[in-house]
A and B are shown apart, each in its own frame.
Chain A
Amino acid sequence: MLEIRNLHVTVDGKEILKGIDLDVAAGEVHAIMGPNGSGKSTLSYVLAGREGYEVTEGSIRFNGKDLSEMGVDERAAAGIFLAFQYPLEIPGVTTMTFLKTALNAQRKARGEEELDAVRFLKLVREKAKPLNVNDDMLKRALNVGYSGGEKKRAEVLQMSLLEPALAVLDETDSGLDIDALKTVADGVNALRSPERSMIVITHYQRLLDYIVPDVVHVLSGGRIVKTGGKELALELEKSGYAGYGADAA
């Protein structure tokens, strides 16, 4: 699904990622942990194709295709989804409108039929219910005045509606109370399938109790410094990143 080779990324002239190698096979869930400023969000932005994140060396292949030639919206239509660490507010655009615009844009890009209002409404309600997102919230402007937890739930709702092939969740657990954490984890788990891969970026082992990863990586100073099974997360919880050359700053 995803093959990252010797990836070097520069932001504003500063090298942030310094040679990342990462393989995520279809159906796998990889967790990425690491100290603040180590480059986790940077990696997610590069996958999404954000402007200003310059790949100076190495490559990213997604389902065999070189991503470097694809624009942000093309990558999205190809199935890359990023749940933002800090979701953006879009004043005056209801969550419902936003979701419909996004879904139909992707369907159109893939040559599929666009959903009409009725079918869309049915679908969105179906996806929203398990995430405790009610109609009231869907009618509000996207992320405007949403609490931290509501924003994260809205991100997961977008993911379940868009059904991406590769989902990158950037600290989707931070700021969630324990019930919301469970709701969100259930939402994510419901999407786990042999065709879908996930990269879960988190600071907390707790999330990984709910979303059990196949592989755990430690990203530090722009490099993956350790890779292991889910027990690695437990280890980190106890001993911190001290032993992994946490030189990010």
Chain B
Amino acid sequence: MIEIKNISKSFNGRQVLDNVSGVFKKGETSLVIGASGTGKSVLLKCMLDLVRPEAGTTLYDGRDFYVGDEEDKKDIRREMGVLFQGGALFDSKTVHENVQFPLDMLTKMGEGEKKDRVEFCLQRVGLEGTGGRMPSEISGGMKKRVGIARAIVMNPKYLFCDEPNSGLDPLTSIKIDELIKEITDEFDITTVVITHDMNSVLSIGDKIMFLHKGKKLWEGNSQTIMGDTVPELEEFVFCNKALSLMRAGK
């Protein structure tokens, strides 16, 4: 379980996050949704302590992530996997080396054991046999898959995905969403997905947090999101024409 408490962050005097709190539960795919520029990525960076908020804390199963130095954080960091927006694969390494990288740096596994683990993860995301390619040679959807494989290679307790389906076609998007959801269920991970894609919202949102201009305005799940009457949320949800027609018809 991850708890965030009263997180506030501003850049050069501009408030980007305003007193955001929330709980993300184990075994659930929790979504953070909102329009572009509302501070979703900043919230994620605060949770990962890449950006330190002015106020608030993040607790990982009760452990305060903002106390102590980097050495103290290593234990929690080992339990995290992150899929960044563009995949953030290391350009100079092959797919296999990318996925193996956390094992190389953070564990004392033998070569054979590492290889097996990498193969397992690549196969889990549906990429068996592509290990030898470079990131520049694979498609956007494959990059996200490699990113997921790298994120889960250390068997994380917490998985974070920043816009896992940005820049992908609708079909690939749904496949990536489903993959994340399956992995969450299969390995009983606490997963936080940042998205502005209504498809994901409706299909994988066990729990949903809606951010608007840095404030948390609503919380619920994929069933309750259609019926709720927060004006900003309605605007976000029903900007999709098909959905708004659906509602008009009901």
The answer to whether A and B come from one shared complex is no
